[in-house]
Amino acid sequence: AQKVTQAQTEISVVEKEDVTLDCVYETRDTTYYLFWYKQPPSGELVFLIRRNSFDEQNEISGRYSWNFQKSTSSFNFTITASQVVDSAVYFCALRGDSSYKLIFGSGTRLLVRP
């Protein structure tokens, strides 16, 4: 079975603080893909990153960074110097090669206060 757990239901920070969103996944597939999506209040899902299971290199894109650790089955997402516009629900998702399904976690609502 495949599963994505986002234990943090809601996080509230003050602008300019760093914040890390946790994601833990379960899969028996040796090849799989991990995703992060942002869902602002307008409702659309905005793609942030895709990472395959063979690439454990951490990635940085501007204020965003991702830490992929196969040993702990985690794919955490850090926003540095958060901004009010970062307020949204963030979803971690998994797709294993044994299934065509993109499995989402329950999401973490991030509120960045000015």
Partner 1 sequence: EAGVAQSPRYKIIEKRQSVAFWCNPISGHATLYWYQQILGQGPKLLIQFQNNGVVDDSQLPKDRFSAERLKGVDSTLKIQPAKLEDSAVYLCASSFTPTGHFNYGYTFGSGTRLTVV
Q: Which of 43, 54, 57, 62 binds partner 1 (CB under 8 A)?
A: 43
Answer yes or no whether residue 85 interacts with partner 1 by CB under 8 A: no
- CA 114 – CA 66 distance, rounded (Å): 24
- How many CB atoms within 10 Å of residue 48? 16
> In this chain, which stretch among 13-21, 35-43, 61-69, 75-83 interacts with partner 1, using CB under 8 A?
35-43
What the block records as the tokens of 53 is 């299971």
Nearer Cβ to partner 1, position 18 or 26?
26
55, 69, 90, 98 from 22: Cα distances, Å:
19, 12, 10, 24
Return residues touching partner 1 (CB under 8 A): 4, 33, 35, 37, 42-47, 50, 91, 93, 95, 99-107
